[in-house]
Chains A and B, each alone.
Chain A
Amino acid sequence: MAQSNSLKACVPAYLKEAQLIKQGAEARVYRATFLGRPVVIKERFTKLYRHPEVDEKLTRRRTTQEVRSILRCRRAGINAPVVYFVDYTTHCIFLEDIVHSVSVRDHIASAQTPQHLQALVEKIGEVLAQMHDEDVIHGDLTTSNMLLVPGAEHQHIHLVLIDFGLSYISALPEDKGVDLYVLEKAFLSTHPKTETLFERLLKSYSASSKKSSAVIKKLDEVRLRGRKRSMVG
């Protein structure tokens, strides 16, 4: 990768050998090996556009939150990558590499008919309900942040949630409703004409959690809130 020498000097040794695979909104993602295992390294580098105080605070908080939420999900039996190591000085997280996986986004884009996707969206609804029952708010639910591991597809769909950088812990139906609202918008704008699929996802979410009725009620409220429907100026 193209980097100036001055920058290279402060790059940790493990990243020099790592292979950059993606630059997301707030982190660079590398592929490497760690103690003989394939890992993905997520590096929250300094964002020069924002004020140093804002940057420092967000970076530290998000690194911590990401690791905490992953642990909480995994303890509850929700698939998320294993955290192998965290370097708080360089804000790097070493995560299990989910090998041979495809993002749900790419999977939906390549599916021939929506019928093929029904079982998948039902699974997504189920996993999200389980996550919300643990009071984990993902904060950035999109189809890019869900991985699908191919295998015995029909009986068992192996879905892995990733990218918990904006996550936090909350039991409020409001926060869970917004979490679903964020997914709804990302889902429908990324995959046009999938309204019925998303409805199915919500139905499965409702069926999978006892606390869902309050959340869905909040979701309906959030949809109508503020300037989203009535936009002035």
Chain B
Amino acid sequence: MTVVIGFEGSANKIGVGIIRDGEVLSNPRRTYITPPGQGFLPGETAKHHRSVILTVLQEALDEAGLKSADIDCVAYTKGPGMGAPLVTVAVVARTVAQLWGKPLLGVNHCIGHIEMGRLITNAQNPTVLYVSGGNTQVIAYSERRYRIFGETIDIAVGNCLDRFARVIKISNDPSPGYNIEQMAKKGTKFIELPYTVKGMDVSFSGILSYIEDAAHKMLSTSQCTPEDLCFSLQETLFAMLVEITERAMAHCGSQEVLIVGGVGCNLRLQEMMGVMCKERGARIFATDESFCIDNGAMIAQAGWEMFRSGHITELSDSWITQRYRTDEVEVTWRD
């Protein structure tokens, strides 16, 4: 049996999870929530993480009913993400690894999402749509790499949603995306927005500029409601995401889709993807918010796979990086 503890804190979530051979023993998490109209800044986010990380760590151990001696490996997020929060989490991971005398393992955040999705859904070889506040990628596995077939050429889809939420002052609690999703259900009028697909790539910055400009004008003249804007934005962004996923599937001849990342728990996105899959006789796999949104268990799971295939990170190499592409990692644990 191999037990891995994972530390994640690359953005505004801080989580510690413990995995024992595919079983999630514990996965507590905290979120740094900012007031409406504001995003999270690196320094303040790191401060939040520092203030709660030891509590979360204790919770993870207690919930799992384990002692430090039961842990085989300490995994942490090496990147990509915000610098200050990453450093905070890496310092704690390095410290406990040395205190407990356990090997360390730096994990790519995106690989964490993919491996967690595969574990929870049992998808074999899916085309992966990875959508979050910082990433928008369509990924497929071939020849020992998770290769990026399509991605955003500017901002991430979650970033577009978050920034729209700030424009019309939607609450960040529990997350701007969740609140947009609830408001969108009440939207009735469809407002035409730019639609920018470039092959398997997408672009969101033009849509954001357009809606930032149009929102106040249309709302002040009562041409539409905030709910209509949420609805139209979701319908447009998600149609683009489903389209590039389908294009990648057609290109790769794939019959499975896995949605991961924070935006992946949006039920409307899952529904649209499901309709697309049905049309082409493919299968869809998705997880709920506990595993879609950043969490410690996903780092533990990717760490578990890496540790079992012989990886460890020496203390001198246990740095973090804000830039770390999904396709930089050699996947030694899959055929």
Contact = CB atoms under 8 A, between A and B. Distances in A.
B201 interface: yes
Interface string B7-24: 000110000000000000
Q: Is the interface of A mostly helix, strand, loop or mixed?
A: loop
B67 interface: no
Contacts of A51: 190, 235-236, 239
Interface string A20-53: 0011111000000000000000000001111101
Contacts of A25: 243, 246-247, 249-250
A185 interface: yes
Interface stretch (B48-56, B88-96, B131-139): B131-139
B195 A54 contact: yes
Contacts of A222: 153
Interface in B252-275: 252, 262, 272-273, 275
A233 B143 contact: no
Contacts, number: 145
Given A140-B247, A233-B81, A53 B192 contact: yes
Contact of A231 (B242, B275, B323): B323
A227 interface: yes
A156 to B, nearest CB: 28
Interface residues of B, number: 61
Contacts of B226: none
B250 A57 contact: no
The residue in A49, A54, A144, A229 that gathers the most chain B C-beta atoms within 10 A of its C-beta is: A49
A50 B151 contact: no
Interface in A201-233: 222, 225-233
A49 B234 CA distance: 12
Interface string A83-119: 0000000000000000000000000000000000000
Contacts of B235: 50-51, 54
A58 B237 CA distance: 14
B150 interface: yes
B55 to A, nearest CB: 23
A189 B128 CA distance: 14
Interface stretch (B154-162, B163-171, B175-183, B302-310): B154-162
Interface in B101-141: 109-110, 132-136, 140
A29 to B, nearest CB: 10
A69 interface: no
B134 A232 contact: yes
B15 to A, nearest CB: 13
B153 A54 contact: no
A174 to B, nearest CB: 11
A182 interface: yes
B64 interface: no
A231 B80 contact: yes
Nearest to A175: B198
A22 B262 CA distance: 33
Interface of A: 22-26, 47-51, 53-54, 57-58, 139-142, 144, 166, 178-179, 181-183, 185-186, 189-190, 192, 222, 225-233
25 contacts: A24-B247, A26-B247, A49-B272, A50-B242, A51-B190, A51-B235, A51-B236, A54-B235, A140-B199, A166-B198, A182-B198, A186-B199, A189-B140, A189-B147, A190-B251, A190-B252, A226-B205, A227-B134, A227-B155, A228-B152, A229-B323, A231-B324, A232-B11, A233-B132, A233-B135
